[in-house]
């Protein structure tokens, strides 16, 4: 497999240990998280609404420009779900604008396809995860759990109490 494969396996197993040692939240838990979903009407939007409602999460839904939503709120979301089909021509610009906020949100891109090139583009734009749409309940819930844990960890590291 080579050096890259070995490093990837080591990193993956460290990440798995981190996730297994951290408390997990379930749909019934209430993390202090805000989610912004820029998802058009349809099955994906209904699924985001159902999961958020069941979990008691704060959800803002939008069909419009994320700039309008972000500009109206001082309380920025920690997780943003963005459907690539909302504006397929400029999704990179939108993800870049979303991830330029502070604290930086965890952006999940919904897309009908997910190949290596899209992953590379998403990372360059500042995004965090891709889910293939239409998305299943289990995949979305798992992505939201990962997003919340990683976002919380980032905030913990940025905390002034944890700086040398």
Amino acid 157: pLDDT: 72
Specify the CATH number for the domain of residue 38: 3.40.50.2300
Q: Which tokens in the block code for residue 66?
A: 């994320």
Residue at 16 is within a domain: no
Lookup: tokens for 143: 């992505």
Residue 24 CA to residue 149 CA, distance in Å, equals 8
Most confident of 5-9, 67-71, 72-76, 97-101: 97-101
Quote the pLDDT of residue 110.
Answer: 95
Residues contacting residue 104 through CB under 8 Å, at least 6 positions apart: 126, 154
For residue 131, being part of any structural domain is answered with yes
Residue 51 lies in a domain: yes
Query: How many domains does the chain divide into?
Result: 1
Express each pLDDT in 23-76 by its tens digit. Answer: 344 444 444 478 999 999 999 999 999 999 988 889 999 876 655 555 555 567
CB 111 within 8 A of CB 88: no
| Residue in the structure block whose two tokens are 């919340």 | 148
Alpha-carbon radius of gyration of the chain:
16
Q: Does the residue 19 lie in any domain?
A: no
Q: Identify the pLDDT of residue 31.
A: 45
- The answer to whether residue 1 sits within a structural domain is no
> Which tokens go with 125?
């734009």
Q: Give tens-digit pLDDT for 105-160.
A: 999 999 999 899 999 999 999 999 999 999 999 999 999 989 988 888 887 776 66
CB atoms within 10 A of CB 70: 20
pLDDT of residue 68: 55
Q: Is residue 144 part of a domain?
A: yes
Q: Which of 158, 27, 151 is nearest to 77 (CA)?
A: 151
- Distances in Å between the Cα of 87 and the Cα atoms of 37, 90, 131 are 14, 6, 16
Domain of 38? Answer: 32-162
Compare 18 and 152 and report the one with higher pLDDT.
152
């Amino acid at each position: 497999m080579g050096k890259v494969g070995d490093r990837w396996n080591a990193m993956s197993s460290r990440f798995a240990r981190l996730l297994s040692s951290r408390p997990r939240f379930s749909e019934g838990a209430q993390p202090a998280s805000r989610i912004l979903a820029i998802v058009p009407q349809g099955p994906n939007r209904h699924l985001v609404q159902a999961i958020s409602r069941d979990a008691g999460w704060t959800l803002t839904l939008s069909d419009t420009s994320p700039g309008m939503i972000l500009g109206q709120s001082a309380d920025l979301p920690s997780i943003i779900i963005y459907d690539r089909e909302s504006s397929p021509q400029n999704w990179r610009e939108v993800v870049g604008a979303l991830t330029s906020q502070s604290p930086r949100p965890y952006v999940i891109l919904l897309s009908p396809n997910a190949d290596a090139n899209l992953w590379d583009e998403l990372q360059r734009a500042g995004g965090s995860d891709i889910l293939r749409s239409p998305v299943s309940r289990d995949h979305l819930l798992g992505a939201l759990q990962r997003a919340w844990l990683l976002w919380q960890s980032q905030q913990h590291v940025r905390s002034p109490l944890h700086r040398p």
